[in-house]
Amino acid sequence: MTPNKEDYLKELYKLGGSERLVSNKQLSQTLKVAPASVSEMLAKLNQEALLTTEPYKGAKLTKDGIEIAVSLLRGHRLWEVFLIRHLGYSWSEAHEDAELLEHVSPSRLTNRLERFLNYPAYCPHGNAIPDQNGQIKEGSLMLLSTLEAGKTALIKKVQEEKELLDYLQIQGIEIGSKVTVLAVDAYEGPYTLAFKDKTIQISHKAACQIYVSANDECL
Ligand SMILES: [Zn+2]
Protein backbone atom coordinates (compact mmCIF):
# COMPACT_ATOMS: atom_id res chain seq x y z
CA MET A 1 0.00 0.00 0.00
CA THR A 2 1.31 3.46 -0.86
CA PRO A 3 1.81 6.13 1.85
CA ASN A 4 -0.75 8.26 0.06
CA LYS A 5 -3.50 5.68 0.57
CA GLU A 6 -2.43 5.17 4.15
CA ASP A 7 -2.64 8.91 4.81
CA TYR A 8 -6.25 8.91 3.64
CA LEU A 9 -7.15 6.15 6.08
CA LYS A 10 -5.33 7.88 8.93
CA GLU A 11 -6.90 11.29 8.30
CA LEU A 12 -10.31 9.72 7.94
CA TYR A 13 -9.83 8.06 11.30
CA LYS A 14 -8.67 11.29 12.94
CA LEU A 15 -11.76 13.06 11.59
CA GLY A 16 -14.01 10.49 13.27
CA GLY A 17 -14.39 8.13 10.28
CA SER A 18 -14.33 5.00 12.44
CA GLU A 19 -17.77 5.92 13.77
CA ARG A 20 -19.44 8.19 11.26
CA LEU A 21 -19.35 9.40 7.68
CA VAL A 22 -16.75 12.06 6.99
CA SER A 23 -17.48 14.36 4.05
CA ASN A 24 -15.24 14.54 0.99
CA LYS A 25 -14.99 18.28 1.57
CA GLN A 26 -13.56 17.81 5.05
CA LEU A 27 -11.03 15.30 3.72
CA SER A 28 -10.00 17.50 0.83
CA GLN A 29 -9.44 20.43 3.21
CA THR A 30 -7.41 18.40 5.71
CA LEU A 31 -5.29 16.63 3.12
CA LYS A 32 -5.04 19.76 0.97
CA VAL A 33 -5.95 17.92 -2.23
CA ALA A 34 -8.55 18.64 -4.91
CA PRO A 35 -12.06 17.23 -4.34
CA ALA A 36 -11.79 15.23 -7.59
CA SER A 37 -8.66 13.42 -6.32
CA VAL A 38 -10.42 12.67 -3.04
CA SER A 39 -13.38 11.05 -4.82
CA GLU A 40 -11.03 9.01 -6.97
CA MET A 41 -9.01 7.75 -4.01
CA LEU A 42 -12.11 6.98 -1.94
CA ALA A 43 -13.44 4.87 -4.81
CA LYS A 44 -10.20 2.86 -4.85
CA LEU A 45 -10.21 2.35 -1.08
CA ASN A 46 -13.85 1.35 -1.30
CA GLN A 47 -12.92 -1.34 -3.83
CA GLU A 48 -10.31 -2.62 -1.43
CA ALA A 49 -13.01 -2.81 1.26
CA LEU A 50 -11.14 -0.42 3.54
CA LEU A 51 -14.04 2.02 3.67
CA THR A 52 -17.61 2.46 2.52
CA THR A 53 -18.89 5.54 0.73
CA GLU A 54 -22.32 7.11 0.50
CA PRO A 55 -23.03 9.51 -2.34
CA TYR A 56 -23.04 13.18 -1.19
CA LYS A 57 -22.43 12.12 2.42
CA GLY A 58 -18.85 10.90 2.56
CA ALA A 59 -16.90 7.86 3.71
CA LYS A 60 -16.64 5.65 6.77
CA LEU A 61 -13.85 3.19 7.58
CA THR A 62 -14.45 -0.55 7.65
CA LYS A 63 -12.91 -2.79 10.33
CA ASP A 64 -9.88 -3.42 8.08
CA GLY A 65 -9.52 0.30 7.38
CA ILE A 66 -9.64 1.12 11.09
CA GLU A 67 -6.97 -1.49 11.79
CA ILE A 68 -4.55 0.08 9.31
CA ALA A 69 -5.28 3.63 10.53
CA VAL A 70 -4.72 2.70 14.17
CA SER A 71 -1.46 0.89 13.45
CA LEU A 72 -0.19 3.99 11.59
CA LEU A 73 -1.08 6.20 14.55
CA ARG A 74 0.60 3.76 16.91
CA GLY A 75 3.83 3.86 14.87
CA HIS A 76 3.64 7.64 14.50
CA ARG A 77 3.22 8.32 18.19
CA LEU A 78 5.83 5.82 19.36
CA TRP A 79 8.40 7.23 16.94
CA GLU A 80 7.66 10.73 18.23
CA VAL A 81 8.45 9.63 21.77
CA PHE A 82 11.70 8.05 20.58
CA LEU A 83 12.80 11.05 18.49
CA ILE A 84 12.19 13.56 21.26
CA ARG A 85 13.43 11.46 24.14
CA HIS A 86 16.53 10.01 22.50
CA LEU A 87 17.48 12.19 19.54
CA GLY A 88 16.66 15.65 20.86
CA TYR A 89 14.03 16.48 18.23
CA SER A 90 11.71 19.47 18.66
CA TRP A 91 7.94 19.01 18.77
CA SER A 92 7.46 19.80 15.10
CA GLU A 93 10.56 17.94 13.87
CA ALA A 94 9.38 14.78 15.62
CA HIS A 95 5.94 15.05 14.04
CA GLU A 96 7.46 15.63 10.60
CA ASP A 97 9.75 12.60 10.63
CA ALA A 98 7.17 10.38 12.33
CA GLU A 99 4.97 11.06 9.29
CA LEU A 100 7.60 9.25 7.22
CA LEU A 101 8.54 6.49 9.67
CA GLU A 102 4.93 5.44 10.32
CA HIS A 103 4.73 4.11 6.76
CA VAL A 104 7.73 1.81 7.08
CA SER A 105 7.14 0.35 10.54
CA PRO A 106 5.87 -3.22 10.67
CA SER A 107 4.28 -4.34 13.95
CA ARG A 108 7.40 -6.27 14.98
CA LEU A 109 9.31 -2.99 14.96
CA THR A 110 6.67 -0.89 16.73
CA ASN A 111 6.20 -3.59 19.38
CA ARG A 112 9.92 -3.62 20.15
CA LEU A 113 10.07 0.16 20.03
CA GLU A 114 7.23 0.31 22.52
CA ARG A 115 9.04 -2.08 24.86
CA PHE A 116 12.29 -0.12 24.49
CA LEU A 117 10.44 3.08 25.44
CA ASN A 118 8.84 1.31 28.42
CA TYR A 119 5.25 1.45 27.16
CA PRO A 120 4.52 5.19 27.00
CA ALA A 121 0.79 6.00 27.20
CA TYR A 122 0.95 9.25 25.25
CA CYS A 123 2.90 10.86 22.43
CA PRO A 124 4.82 14.06 23.27
CA HIS A 125 1.86 16.12 22.01
CA GLY A 126 -0.56 14.36 24.35
CA ASN A 127 -2.25 11.91 21.97
CA ALA A 128 -2.97 8.47 23.45
CA ILE A 129 -0.87 5.66 21.94
CA PRO A 130 -2.97 2.67 20.83
CA ASP A 131 -1.89 -0.61 22.48
CA GLN A 132 -0.88 -3.77 20.59
CA ASN A 133 -4.53 -4.72 20.21
CA GLY A 134 -5.39 -1.35 18.74
CA GLN A 135 -7.25 -0.10 21.80
CA ILE A 136 -7.01 3.63 22.52
CA LYS A 137 -8.02 5.16 25.81
CA GLU A 138 -8.97 8.75 25.10
CA GLY A 139 -10.05 10.81 28.08
CA SER A 140 -12.69 13.48 27.73
CA LEU A 141 -11.04 16.83 27.23
CA MET A 142 -12.16 20.34 26.44
CA LEU A 143 -10.68 23.14 24.41
CA LEU A 144 -8.68 25.84 26.14
CA SER A 145 -10.77 28.34 24.16
CA THR A 146 -13.88 27.30 26.12
CA LEU A 147 -12.40 28.36 29.46
CA GLU A 148 -13.48 31.65 31.01
CA ALA A 149 -11.10 34.09 32.66
CA GLY A 150 -10.18 32.94 36.15
CA LYS A 151 -10.26 29.22 35.36
CA THR A 152 -7.29 26.92 35.83
CA ALA A 153 -6.68 23.71 33.90
CA LEU A 154 -4.03 21.21 32.89
CA ILE A 155 -2.76 21.16 29.32
CA LYS A 156 -3.33 17.65 27.99
CA LYS A 157 -3.01 17.67 24.23
CA VAL A 158 -2.19 19.91 21.27
CA GLN A 159 -3.01 19.54 17.57
CA GLU A 160 -0.13 18.14 15.53
CA GLU A 161 0.42 20.86 13.01
CA LYS A 162 3.91 22.21 12.31
CA GLU A 163 3.34 25.94 12.74
CA LEU A 164 1.26 25.46 15.86
CA LEU A 165 3.81 23.11 17.42
CA ASP A 166 6.67 25.56 16.82
CA TYR A 167 4.59 28.45 18.12
CA LEU A 168 3.61 26.62 21.30
CA GLN A 169 7.08 25.30 21.97
CA ILE A 170 8.54 28.83 21.68
CA GLN A 171 5.91 29.95 24.20
CA GLY A 172 7.13 27.20 26.52
CA ILE A 173 3.82 25.27 26.57
CA GLU A 174 4.24 21.72 27.89
CA ILE A 175 1.88 18.79 28.18
CA GLY A 176 0.78 18.31 31.78
CA SER A 177 1.50 21.87 32.83
CA LYS A 178 -1.00 24.00 34.67
CA VAL A 179 -2.37 27.21 33.15
CA THR A 180 -4.71 29.85 34.48
CA VAL A 181 -6.69 32.00 32.08
CA LEU A 182 -6.15 35.59 33.23
CA ALA A 183 -8.03 37.36 30.46
CA VAL A 184 -9.85 36.65 27.22
CA ASP A 185 -9.96 39.57 24.80
CA ALA A 186 -13.17 40.27 22.87
CA TYR A 187 -13.60 39.51 19.15
CA GLU A 188 -11.44 36.39 19.19
CA GLY A 189 -8.54 38.37 20.60
CA PRO A 190 -5.62 36.83 22.46
CA TYR A 191 -5.77 34.75 25.61
CA THR A 192 -3.59 35.89 28.48
CA LEU A 193 -2.38 32.91 30.49
CA ALA A 194 -0.52 32.54 33.74
CA PHE A 195 1.83 29.68 33.12
CA LYS A 196 4.67 28.53 35.35
CA ASP A 197 6.00 31.81 36.77
CA LYS A 198 5.20 33.97 33.80
CA THR A 199 2.38 35.54 31.86
CA ILE A 200 2.07 34.67 28.19
CA GLN A 201 -0.36 35.54 25.41
CA ILE A 202 -1.52 33.09 22.81
CA SER A 203 -3.83 33.68 19.86
CA HIS A 204 -7.47 32.65 19.83
CA LYS A 205 -6.62 30.28 16.97
CA ALA A 206 -4.02 28.51 19.13
CA ALA A 207 -6.44 28.32 22.08
CA CYS A 208 -8.83 26.43 19.78
CA GLN A 209 -6.17 23.76 19.20
CA ILE A 210 -5.11 23.08 22.77
CA TYR A 211 -7.02 20.54 24.85
CA VAL A 212 -7.21 20.78 28.62
CA SER A 213 -8.74 18.94 31.51
CA ALA A 214 -10.16 20.83 34.44
CA ASN A 215 -8.42 18.94 37.18
CA ASP A 216 -10.34 19.03 40.48
CA GLU A 217 -7.35 20.04 42.53
CA CYS A 218 -6.87 23.12 40.31
CA LEU A 219 -10.39 24.53 40.59
ZN1 LIG B 1 2.34 13.43 18.54
CA 85–ligand 1 middle distance (angstroms) = 13
Is 179 buried (19+), middle (13-18) or exposed (0-12) by CB count in 10 A? buried
CA gap 98, 9 in Å, rounded: 16
Q: What is the pLDDT of residue 196?
A: 84
pLDDT tens string 194-213:
988 889 999 999 999 999 99
What residues form DSSP beta bridges with 142? Answer: 212
CA 186–ligand 1 middle distance (angstroms) = 31
Q: Choose the CATH number for 142-218 among 2.40.110.20, 3.30.420.280, 2.30.30.90, 3.10.450.30.
A: 2.30.30.90
Q: What is the pLDDT of residue 140?
A: 85
Residues in the chain with pLDDT < 70? 1-3, 215-219
CA gap 150, 181 in Å, rounded: 5
Q: Within the chain, which residue ranges are assigned CATH 1.10.10.10?
A: 3-61
CA 97–ligand 1 middle distance (angstroms) = 11
CA 187–ligand 1 middle distance (angstroms) = 31
pLDDT tens string 76-89:
999 999 999 999 99
CA 179–ligand 1 middle distance (angstroms) = 21
CA 74–ligand 1 middle distance (angstroms) = 10
CA 81–ligand 1 middle distance (angstroms) = 8
pLDDT tens string 144-171:
999 999 999 999 999 998 898 998 888 8
CA 91–ligand 1 middle distance (angstroms) = 8
Mean pLDDT (the chain, rounded): 92
CA 54–ligand 1 middle distance (angstroms) = 31
pTM recorded for the entire structure: 0.89
Q: What is the pLDDT of residue 219?
A: 43
Q: Within the chain, which residue ranges are assigned CATH 2.30.30.90?
A: 142-218
At the top level of CATH, which class does the domain 3-61 belong to? mainly alpha
β-strand pairing of 178-184 with 51-54 = unpaired
Q: What is the pLDDT of residue 137?
A: 84
